[in-house]
Structure 1
Amino acid sequence: MSERPDGSQATTFGWVLIIVGLLAAFVAGTAETFDAMVWAAVSANLAIGLGVILVSLGYLVRAIWFLPGREIKDVPEPVEKEADGTFCDWCHLWVPGPARPCSSSDDKVIRADVDALSGGQGLEEACRYELTKRGYIQE
């Protein structure tokens, strides 16, 4: 299953670089030789600049990835086959027996099951998505 990127790694690493850059800037201000001051100032500028870019990138990834209307369907990996049950072709979940998956049930049974669950409460996310897509649950 693929993880949805949220930019947290880039953001965290960016903040660490900004802090390192600020410490390097402090060291540059207290350096005793000109060469030490130059190297510390260059290091500070690079660290702060790269840190700001990474923080911005992290927040940008988060903003773009979670825009409204951007639905990425994560298909869950099938669970190893149990002794008794059936695999659902719609939601890709293993349904333990004696229950039957929606993909092998008729329309009346599915509607009765969804109504018994009071509008889809208590369903797996993949099941809710598939039942909504097929018109059994009204959004």
Structure 2
Amino acid sequence: MTDNPENRGHRPDPPRVWTYTLPGGHRVMAGKTDVDNDRLSLKVAGPNDWWFHVRGMPGSHVVLVTAGGQTPDRSTLNQAAAVAAYHSKARTGGIVAVSGTLARHVSKPRGAKPGTVQIRKERVFKVRPALPEPA
């Protein structure tokens, strides 16, 4: 086996994401592509961050960054879920079901294509697709 100098010290590019700030200063990130979704969900998200994805159709993986291990309130979780609904094929669908869980419960099945994950301990949020109001 040879050591490829092109791979030495190479770090993957950070994910390309849309970033939003929710009331209360919480930060939400949404992946732009399947590869960005993988990086965001599996490399960037901390174990206590919340992860969201619209149920049953294509869309961005969305991560709500939790500050200092604090548990976000229901309103903040619903707003992050609304961002996930907005960045999906369900954007114009009225009330949308969005899966949410702690990022520690998100994993990638072996051999799965980019953007495919499995989750445990799912919580379902029913929200209207929306982005937060600009500050």
TM-score range, shorter chain: under 0.3
Name the TM-score, length of structure 1 as normaliser.
Answer: 0.22
TM-score (norm 2): 0.23
Greater fraction strand: 2
More helix by share: 1
RCO higher in structure (CA 8 A, sep ≥6) = 2
Q: Which has the larger radius of gyration?
A: 1
